[in-house]
Structures are given as C-alpha cells and as structure tokens.
Chain A
Amino acid sequence: MGLLKDAYTLYMRDMLIFKKNWKTSIARSLIFPLTLILLLGNLGTSVSHIPIAVVNYASSPSAITFISQLNSLNTLTVTAVTTQQNAMQLLSNGDVSSVVVVPSTFGKPGSSIVLYTDYSSPITSQEADAAIDQVARQFGAILNIRSTGVSVSTNYVYGAASNYKTFLVAGIVIMVAAFGSIWSGGFTLITDRQLGNLKAFMATPIHRLSILLGKIAYGISQSMINGLLALAIGLLYGCSIAAGPIGIIPIIWFAFLSALGFSGVATALGARINKIEVYSLIGMAITLPLWVLSGAFLPTGTLPKFMQPFSIYNPMTYAINAVRDVMLKGVLPMATLVYYSILLIGFALATIALSLVLFKNVSPV
C-alpha cells in the first residue's frame, strides 16, 4: 500500500522532529497534567441537590418527619423507594449518590439507620453523608435516646481507596489524550502549511491523504505519550487503580479511542484553517467546554440541568466514565466496555470521515 507507506514516511518525519526536541516536548506534555493534579487534586467544593434514595421500613410518624426533614435540606433531593433492592439498583446505575435505609425499629433506642454511598464521587458523597448524619442526630435528640444514639453504619459500595485525586486523574488522563491530538497533529498541519512544507509534500507524487494519515498517526502518538505521562504522575501522586495493573489495558484503550476521535477533529480543523492563531482560538473553544462538560473535574450530576445534555452527547464523558470505573470501582462490565467503545469508535469514524472530505480540496498554501 503506497498510501500507508507514504503516510509512514511523513509520520516518521514528525517523530524525528519530536525526537530532536524530546526534552521540550516531554516538558510540555508534563506541565498540564502536573499542574492540574497538584492544584486541583486537593480542592473541595460545596454541592447541592445530591440525589439520594430513602427506603422506609418503619411505620412511625417520626420516620416520616425524618424523611421530610432530609428532603427539606438544600443539600439533598430525596426519592422514596419501596424496596432496598430497587434503591440499590438506582445506586449502581448512578441515579442516586446514596441510599438511606430506615429500619422498622426506627425511633426505638439502639436503632440504626443504614447508609449506602457511592464513594466514586467523593465530594458529593461526603456532603451527603454529613447532611444525613446531622439530621439523624437531631432525631436522636428529639426521641430522647441520646444514651444509645442513632448510629449510622457506612457500607462502601466501591473500592475503599476512592478519593477525589483518583477521580480527577481518571478525567485528566482522557483529556490530555484527547487534546494531545489537537495540539500536535492539527497544529503541525497548519505550521507545515505556513512554512511551505505542505506545498513541497503535495508537489511529490504521494497521495494527498497520506499527509492526513501521517498527521493522525502523529497526533495519536503524542496523545498516548501525554496520557501515559498523566497516568504516571497520578500514580506517583498517590492514586490507585482499583482493577490492579491489568486495568492499564482498558485505560490505554479508552485513551486511544479518545485520541483517535480528536485527531479527526484536529485534522478537520487543520484542513480548513490557515492561521495558527485562529486554530488555537477554535481549539480552545472546543476543548475547554468539552472538558468541563465531560465531568473531568466534577461529577456530571453536579452540572446545572440545562448543561447535562451536553455531557450526555459528549464523547469524552464515556471514555472518562470507563476509566473512572476501572480506577475507582475496579470493575468494567463487558457490556459497558463494548457500548462505550462503540460510541467512541463511532465518534472517531465520523470526525475522520469529515477530515477526509475536507482534506480532498486542501489548499497547499
């Protein structure tokens, strides 16, 4: 295949240049994840309207008051569920952040409320726990059972080592992988045009699309280097992969799929934009919102309602969710893996097809 051979020649040229400047290139790849993980890794924030489910097995009026009291808090939004099984289903679907089980003995001394929490969203879960605890204590006081008190037992649903750092790193690995393509493959496509290299390449008897394929391959290489460096920083900083070392494989797979999709975006932009300033502007305008909306910093559930559709139709959301499952929960069901992979491959096919079309009439100068 002459096309692939030419693409490989051009890819190797970009990689030779990368190798020549490897120190600056690696430093550039490091700065971004390093800064974010160090600065944001310890950040806290207040949240509101955390969805929780309440299962009421008690018939006493105090249990009803307890639930309505929970509901009146700004922090929580309560859904009443009849059976514990249904509530747990909601929890594992991610529809609610915690499940509160009110026992039939509620109101009697020594009764204990059972609380299940999804700790993969550290900030919301901690806020929810605190709020429920507070209300439960109040009831302890009213019912005058202070001697024994109402004890809240916490059952972790997912890996106990979950923390916001790991939550954040999972998001950052995917983000730098996705946007590595924007700042390498598409970027050099434009500088090559500005410097006249594109014209020189197009004056040789290579297929025009080999230039595009070379840039896509280069973008993906850069992305993977960025993604792996970000993961390494995260692990050194104390994050863990709940699935163990084997979890690296799905992480790399989803980083690759994100890089593939965004290398299509990058080359589609690069095929039509002549000025590096304009490209940088548009690149920023695309990457920053996608980043925030993908839930890389905070769970998408904490986004305002009108923004939530943007995160549902954001391909990055799925890649980040998958990596988060691997790093925090330690499990990624095959069905989810296949479903997310299909979504991301579909996205990649669409963007690469677009850049192929735009590249057909690409201007040499």
Chain B
Amino acid sequence: MKENAIEISHLTKKFGDFTAVNDISLNIEKGEIFGLLGPNGAGKSTTINMILGLIPPTSGKILVEGKDVAKQANETKQDIGLVMQETIVEPELTAEQNLRLFGKLYHMSEEEIDKKIDFLLDLAGLTAFRKAYAGTFSGGMKRRLETVKSLIHDPKILVLDEPTTGLDVQNRTKVWELIKKINKEQGVTILMTTQYLEEADEVCNRIAIMDHGKVIALGTPTELKYSISKGNIIEIATNRQQLEEVTKIIKKALGAEPRISGDKVSVSVSADAVKKMEKIMNALNASKIQVHGISMHEPTLDDVFLKLTGASLRDATTENVQSSRAMLMRGR
C-alpha cells in the first residue's frame, strides 16, 4: 500500500442547518495528481479550506503528511502550498517582493528566501521580470508567478483551486506544463479542483467527484468513464420540439433509456455500437425526423459528471448564487 499525503476520515462540516461536507473519507497518495471535481456548492472549497486549516471541521479528522490538522496546524501549513482560484499576486508589488512576502510569512531566513527566489523565478520563466510590478504582467505571467509563489517554502503538497480558470488555451497549457514539472521533478503531491474536465482527464492520476457534500465517485479517469458505460455514447442533435419523439424512437429501437440534455438526446451502448447506430439511423429515417447531427464517442468525464450529478459542470449558476448567499449569511 502506498503512503498517503492526505488522509481524510469521516469529515463533516455544517454551517448552521446546512451540511456543506457530509461524512467524507478520502486518501490522497504521495506523489499523485488528484482532482476534486463537482458542481458549485458541492463542498469542494469547504473540504479544501479544512485541509488548509482555515476553518475547523464539525467532526472528522484530516491528516496531512501524518500530522493532524486540528492539532498541528502550523506544521501542516508548512507542508502545503496554495494556488487560489483568483490570481492574487499583489499587483502593486514586484515579482520579487511578492515572493519575499510569503517567504517571510513561512518564517524562512533571508538567505533561504534569496536562494529560493532565484530558483522560482527561473522555474516560472520570469527571471527578467524580477523587479517589475506584477500589475504589469499578463494573465499567464501572473498565474505562473502565483504558482511558483506557493512553492517558496518547499511544500510537499500543492493545493490548486481552479488553477487555469480565465486563462486562454496557450496559457493554460503553460500552467499545466509547470504543474506537471513540479509534480514530476520535485515529487510534490498535487490536489486540484478544476472545471475543465478534459484537463482533469489528461492530467489527473485519480479523480473524486463530489456532489451535495458527498464523494459520489472515485477512481482513475478511465475507471470513472467505463463505470457509466462499457461501450460508447451515441448523441443525436435535433430540434427542441422533436426531442421527445426522438427519445421514443431510440427507446423502441434499442430498448435502452436515452437521456436529454440541451438539444441533444444521448444513449450509452455497451456492445455492437456501429450496428446500434445503424438501427437508430434507420429508425430516424423512417420517421422523417429532422436531425442536425449524429455522433458516437467514447464516454468522457463530462458524461460521467452528467450522469452522476444530473448537471453539467459549467451550468450551475443558480447553485453559485445560493452558495455565495450562504457565505454572506455566514458573514453576518
């Protein structure tokens, strides 16, 4: 059995009557890249805040590198680096001042900080911008500075909360390269949340999906994908008015239960995918229904997510409003 960087057992957090995290148990192994996914308000951030020692759990226990967060918060905080969702490098400070501030907050000596700053600026490809104010940086540069800033104290674990939100494709790739490099070359365990499922699929060794404060699925990306479907997924795009009819036709042709999302009807098929596709096409042809597109693909994390939570990861606006409201209420 592998050693664990983080062990979470029976963790629960309640805010008044609202249970944000409901009795979850989870181990994150040393050296792995672990993805925590879930719609807004699922309890990801609350879980991460408890791992960071920012808020106390209602019940349950978290061990970071074998140390209890509730009892040895100062030690566990030294083991964790945090990259937050918002880019929070201070625009009014230079790249160097930003790094130095956190070096001091982690109680490092001036010599240690000096040495580390050289190394980290090089790692982020920002050596030439040492004395430049972070406010003059591009989004990608800020994010890279923010990422290496979290490494100033040599943490064993890096927690990344939505590390690539708001970045364009090119910058996202650069940040991921940096994170993979940190994981590989320095053996830092990575715990991250993201809403880009393709990225999670590509980067993460293991993934946990949370919803309503519970972990509802846990495994490697491949395990998760094949847990919902042994074979492929067929999707038919059509007019909204015809969705019901298409659903009926597919049900009749295959005997399987299709799902509707947006203007698409999808159905997972386990074997003989091509033959089944043909059947569907024939049936649709016979009914003279107008079809905009038809496709077949292997299951993706999106499909897993949709099936398990009933919501696409990115259209959870209502929950977002509710969770920020809940936060304001707590603030009163």
Q: Which residues of A contact B (CB under 8 A)?
A: 2, 6, 9-10, 13, 16-17, 20-21, 195-197, 199-206, 272-275, 363-365
Chain A residues lying within 8 Å of B84, measured Cβ to Cβ, are 196, 199-200
Secondary structure of the A contact surface, majority rule: helix
Bound-complex Cα distance A20 to B134 (A): 12
Given the known interface contacts A200-B82, A205-B78, the answer about A364 and B55 at a Cβ–Cβ threshold of 8 Å is: yes
Given the known interface contacts A204-B105, A272-B331, the answer about A21 and B77 at a Cβ–Cβ threshold of 8 Å is: no
Bound-complex Cα distance A203 to B77 (A): 6
**Residue with the highest number of chain B CB atoms closer than 10 Å, among A2, A13, A206:** A13
Chain A residues lying within 8 Å of B54, measured Cβ to Cβ, are 199, 202-203, 364
Binds A, one of B21-29, B89-97, B236-244, B299-307: B89-97
Interface residues of B in 295-332 (CB under 8 A from A): 327-328, 330-332
Within 8 Å of chain A (Cβ to Cβ): is B213? Answer: no
Interface residues of B in 5-42 (CB under 8 A from A): none
The contact sample of 23 A-B pairs, CB cut-off 8 A, is A2-B107, A6-B105, A9-B101, A13-B90, A16-B92, A16-B97, A20-B92, A20-B133, A196-B84, A199-B82, A199-B84, A200-B84, A201-B105, A202-B52, A205-B74, A205-B78, A206-B105, A273-B331, A274-B327, A274-B331, A364-B54, A364-B55, A365-B49
Are the CB atoms of B104 and A9 closer together than 8 Å?
yes
Are the CB atoms of A21 and B105 closer together than 8 Å?
no
- The 10 A-B residue pairs with the shortest CB-CB distance, nearest first, are A205-B74, A204-B105, A205-B77, A274-B331, A17-B92, A196-B88, A9-B104, A196-B86, A20-B92, A364-B54
Are the CB atoms of A197 and B78 closer together than 8 Å?
no
Chain A residues lying within 8 Å of B75, measured Cβ to Cβ, are 205
Given the known interface contacts A13-B101, A204-B102, A205-B78, the answer about A21 and B92 at a Cβ–Cβ threshold of 8 Å is: yes
Bound-complex Cα distance A82 to B77 (A): 76
Are the CB atoms of B82 and A16 closer together than 8 Å?
no
Chain B residues lying within 8 Å of A196, measured Cβ to Cβ, are 84-86, 88
Bound-complex Cα distance A10 to B53 (A): 20
Are the CB atoms of B104 and A365 closer together than 8 Å?
no
Chain A residues lying within 8 Å of B74, measured Cβ to Cβ, are 205
Chain A residues lying within 8 Å of B78, measured Cβ to Cβ, are 205
Apart from A13-B93, A197-B90, A275-B328: 19 A-B pairs, beta carbons within 8 A: A6-B105, A9-B104, A10-B105, A13-B101, A17-B90, A197-B88, A202-B52, A203-B52, A203-B77, A203-B80, A204-B77, A204-B106, A205-B74, A205-B77, A205-B106, A206-B105, A363-B331, A364-B49, A364-B55
Bound-complex Cα distance A365 to B75 (A): 22
Within 8 Å of chain A (Cβ to Cβ): is B281? Answer: no
Bound-complex Cα distance A204 to B149 (A): 12
Q: Chain B: which residue is nearest A206 at the CB level?
A: B105
Given the known interface contacts A17-B90, A20-B92, the answer about A365 and B105 at a Cβ–Cβ threshold of 8 Å is: no
Within 8 Å of chain A (Cβ to Cβ): is B73? Answer: yes
Q: Chain B: which residue is nearest A202 at the CB level?
A: B54
Bound-complex Cα distance A21 to B92 (A): 8
Are the CB atoms of B328 and A274 closer together than 8 Å?
yes
Bound-complex Cα distance A273 to B331 (A): 7
Chain B residues lying within 8 Å of A16, measured Cβ to Cβ, are 92-93, 97
Binary A-proximity of B57-72 (CB < 8 A = 1, otherwise 0): 0000000000000000
Chain A residues lying within 8 Å of B97, measured Cβ to Cβ, are 16
**Residue with the highest number of chain B CB atoms closer than 10 Å, among A16, A197, A205:** A205
* B50 vs chain A, min Cβ distance (A): 11
Bound-complex Cα distance A199 to B80 (A): 13
Q: Chain B: which residue is nearest A19 at the CB level?
A: B92
Bound-complex Cα distance A365 to B85 (A): 12
**Residue with the highest number of chain A CB atoms closer than 10 Å, among B49, B327, B332:** B49
* B20 vs chain A, min Cβ distance (A): 13
Q: Chain A: which residue is nearest B56 at the CB level?
A: A361
Are the CB atoms of B107 and A205 closer together than 8 Å?
yes
Chain A residues lying within 8 Å of B90, measured Cβ to Cβ, are 13, 17, 197
